[in-house]
A and B are shown apart, each in its own frame.
Chain A
Amino acid sequence: MINIYPKIISRGHPSLLMTYLAPIIAIVLTLITGSIIFSFMGFTPFFALHTFFISPISTYYGVSELFLKATPLALIAIGLSFCFKNNIYNIGAEGQLTMGAIFGGGVGIFFYNVEGFWLLPLIIICGAIGGIIWAMIPAILKVRFNTNEILTSLMLVYVAALILDYLVVGPWRDPDGLSFPKTRPFNDSARMPLLFEGLRVHFGLILTIISVFIAWFIYSKTMLGYQLKVAGLSPKASRFAGFNQNKLVYITFGICGALSGIAGVGEVTGPIGLIYRDISPNYGFTAIIVAFLGRLHPVGIIFASIVIALTYLGAEDAQLFMQVPQAVGFVFQGLVLFYLLGADLLINYRISFYKRSLINEH
């Protein structure tokens, strides 16, 4: 019998290598688990993984769809990275996205018969304002009343969804829409311009890339980025340095709300072109995974958003070609996060194997 015993040992310093390796380990383990799940369902793993991860992006249209899905994910995840770096667990980005779609889309519906170059920027700004307003509620409650932002921001997701539901079946319903719960379509000048003829990927992608650069700039070149870093690593040190933690709560919630709101605008003025009930397939929640998988770093988030966007496309194809429910995509997303959180152990600790008799000496 082999008497070898694994033991977790502190590294003393976080390992930079493992910080970047952990997401890759997580993705590989998820693929292995996925193959096992698929073979239990009676599919050959190669066929299943090919259907899930390769065939959706084997056409130009597929690649465009990939970036279309990655756009809101990356945008929201960058917003979330500001919150998470500051140890603020804002998990209500889905609600902020919905509010952004309501505010921005509301402008689009109000000006449904007025065209102008000013319309789209106005919609984007209003969407950002909508997201900020919705994000400020948990922020104010946290700062003023010490209320747990995890629970309040999540409750507001349900509230926002119900407000949207009320608007599309009630006052904003399309008068010519045969009583379907949807609004009038926006006119062309209110829509996100397409980047390529015939493909659905739109101007939102450019906005996302700009946000990535701004986020990178803030993190690495400004006082705000430095304060966030300190607050995240050691809240006590941040207080002693005289950084205003309440102000950081407002700023990070505000940034996240604005970007989530813009993501919401991108959905309604991009591929959809009107507002209806299901504007987002849980982008706000999935972006949490993207943010962690991207190590809260702007560049990492871009890669992570593409990987996670692929699970959306793969799930659609799996439903079409393998009759597997689309929810399998969320299962994969959950698995990636599990493995990532597990693999993160290796950043601060290493695993050593000891013979059993030696354990007491260490």
Chain B
Amino acid sequence: MNIDLIFSIINIVLIATTPLVFASIGELVTEKSGVLNLGVEGMMLVGAVTAFVTLVITNNYFLTFLFGMLSGLLMSSLFAFLVLILLSNQVATGLALTIFGIGLSSMIGKKYIGTPIEGVNPYYFIILSFFVVYAVNQFLYKTKPGLILRAVGESHISAHAQGYNVIKIRFLSIAFGGLMCGLAGAYMSIAYAPMWQENMVAGRGWIALALVVFATWKPGRALLGAYIFGSVSILQMNLQGFGVRIPAQFFVMAPYLATIIVLVIISSDRLRIKLSAPACLTIPFFRGR
């Protein structure tokens, strides 16, 4: 194994892991405030298609990523309105967001399947992803607003009694999650692929959700988890390259099976999950009790 091959593997791992980092760090912030948004997959798809269509129409990379992120934000605002104002069930609403996102993205993107575009260098975003993780970590654990956000996630009643606006804080956390998922999707269709295809996110949104559990809700560990994950799924591709004769489908299966195995290992420590999960996760907050 020569040095070039090692570099090329590291290169592929970096490129393939970045969307998982963006999506999981966004979802982590949302969950820290006590809201579980299962719509990650849907938001990523809408982000991906919006960015792609914007690039085809305007040919402007700044607008492409801006609109990609804003579409994620818009999707998450819809979710936020339902769960925060109309007090709907978070699990069901998140599922609805994903189903809606799958439909909306394939409807918008139908005309653009196979349209060639010029991709953008993924390295800017790889660097950005590390920065975002660092910034989120600093924000959550070293600043007062971060402390308030975590307080809302641990006990919304106490935070409310202290005079903090639970709904507003949760809305902002959900919106940040939406922005990051939109960015992850835009990265997928503009930098990673670069192309549009129906359902191109292929379960990465759900894997990002699993990574948050794996990380026991800590940003640094989410980054680490994403990279372990990215390496495993790239490794299987390389094994295939070295002539291990297993049908291709079983290689493609590896990330999904790895997710299950990782979840089992982390979750079997019930006490640890109980202590690390935000105590108010999925519990709605109604002020006028």
Contacts and interface: CB of A to CB of B under 8 A. Distances in A.
Interface of A: 7-10, 89, 91, 141, 144-148, 150-152, 154-156, 158-159, 162-163, 165-166, 170, 285-286, 288-289, 292, 324-325, 327-335, 337-338, 341-342, 344-345, 348-349
Given A337-B92, A337-B99, A166 B249 contact: yes
Nearest to A166: B249
Contacts of B103: 327-334
B82 A341 contact: yes
A319 to B, nearest CB: 10
B105 to A, nearest CB: 8
A288 B100 CA distance: 13
Contact of A338 (B82, B260, B264, B267): B82
Contacts of A162: 249-250, 252-253
A292 B288 contact: no
B237 interface: no
A49 to B, nearest CB: 17
Given A334-B99, A341-B96, A156 B260 contact: yes
B286 A345 contact: no
B228 to A, nearest CB: 16
Contact of A147 (B99, B247, B252, B267): B267
Nearest to A286: B99
Contacts of A337: 92, 95-96, 99-100
A325 B110 contact: yes
Contacts of B38: 150
Contact of B288 (A9, A170, A288, A331): A9
B107 A331 contact: yes
Interface string B89-133: 101110111011111111100100000000000000000000000
Contacts of A156: 256, 260
A152 B260 contact: yes
Interface in B194-216: 198, 202-203, 206, 209-210, 213
B136 interface: no
A344 B83 CA distance: 11
B241 to A, nearest CB: 19
A345 B86 contact: yes
A332 B172 CA distance: 28
21 contacts: A10-B288, A141-B260, A145-B267, A148-B267, A151-B209, A152-B260, A155-B210, A155-B256, A156-B256, A158-B202, A159-B257, A165-B249, A166-B247, A327-B105, A327-B110, A328-B103, A331-B100, A334-B99, A341-B88, A344-B89, A348-B87
A89 B93 CA distance: 12
B99 A146 contact: no
B239 interface: no
Interface string B253-269: 10011011001100110
Nearest to A171: B247
Contacts of A334: 96-97, 99-104
B78 interface: yes
A158 B104 contact: no
B273 interface: yes
B88 A146 contact: no
Nearest to A91: B95
Contacts of B267: 145-148
Nearest to B102: A330
Contacts of B264: 141, 145, 147
Contacts of B144: none
A332 B107 CA distance: 11
B270 interface: yes
Contact of B88 (A150, A327, A333, A345): A345
A155 B257 contact: yes
Nearest to B202: A158
Contact of A330 (B78, B99, B110): B99
B72 to A, nearest CB: 16
Interface in B23-69: 38
Contacts of A349: 87, 286
Given A159-B253, A327-B107, A341-B92, A151 B289 contact: no
B86 A341 contact: yes
Given A331-B104, A337-B99, A341-B82, A151 B210 contact: yes
Given A145-B264, A159-B256, A162-B252, 16 more contacts: A7-B288, A10-B289, A89-B91, A146-B268, A148-B210, A150-B91, A165-B249, A288-B99, A327-B103, A327-B110, A332-B103, A338-B93, A338-B100, A341-B89, A344-B86, A345-B88
Q: Which 8 A-B pairs have the closest CB atoms?
A: A334-B100, A330-B103, A327-B106, A341-B88, A325-B110, A337-B96, A331-B103, A166-B249
A145 B89 CA distance: 25
A166 B270 CA distance: 36
